[in-house]
Structure formats: structure tokens, C-alpha cells
């Protein structure tokens, strides 16, 4: 059985920087879904060898 983590987050790179290393060891795959403009979260994910998927839906409806 494969256990995966999917975390949707924007602008919480400071939190993820501490949480990913602690949680990553419990999962076979770890995914962060964030906004394409959230460069800090993307950098944290890459530093921790975590898969990143960018979505444009985080700010949908906000004008």
C-alpha cells in the first residue's frame, strides 16, 4: 500500500518549512498544491524534494 500526502497551501512557506521535514518521512509521496505566484512555497517544496503542482484556482473570484 502506498500512502500519499496532498497539501494545498498558499503563502504559508514559513509553516511548511518546519512541517514538511517532520511529516515527509511518514509518506511515500508528498505533494504541495499552491498558487503559481507563491514562489516561497515552491522553493520550500523543492528544497525538501516534494512534488509541486500549481493551480490558478486559489484566487478565483477575488478581484
Range of the domain at 15: 4-55
What's the confidence (pLDDT) of residue 59?
73
Q: What is the pLDDT of residue 56?
A: 85
Q: Let me know if residue 63 belongs to a domain.
A: no
- Rounded distance between C-alpha atoms, residue 24 and residue 8, angstroms: 15
The residue among 60 and 53 whose pLDDT is bigger is 53
Which helix (H) or strand (E) covers residue 4, if one does? Answer: strand 4-8
Give, in order, the Cα–Cα distances in Å from 6 to each of 47, 51, 63: 17, 10, 27
Structural domain contains residue 21: yes
Place of cell 478565483: 60
* 6: helix, strand or coil: strand
The answer as to whether 29 is a domain residue is yes
**In a domain? residue 32:** yes
Total of domains in the chain? 1
* pLDDT 10s digits, 3-57: 999 999 999 999 999 999 999 999 999 999 999 999 999 999 999 999 999 998 8
Q: Does residue 18 fall inside a structural domain?
A: yes
SS3 56: coil
Residue 60: inside a domain, yes or no?
Answer: no
Whether the per-residue pLDDT at 63 is higher than 60: the answer is no
Amino acid at each position: 500500500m502506498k500512502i500519499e500526502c496532498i497539501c494545498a497551501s498558499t503563502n504559508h512557506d514559513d509553516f511548511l518549512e518546519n512541517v514538511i521535514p517532520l511529516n515527509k518521512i511518514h509518506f511515500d509521496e508528498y505533494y504541495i498544491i499552491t498558487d503559481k505566484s507563491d514562489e516561497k512555497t515552491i522553493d520550500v517544496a523543492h528544497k525538501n524534494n516534494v512534488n509541486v503542482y500549481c493551480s490558478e484556482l486559489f484566487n478565483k473570484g477575488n478581484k
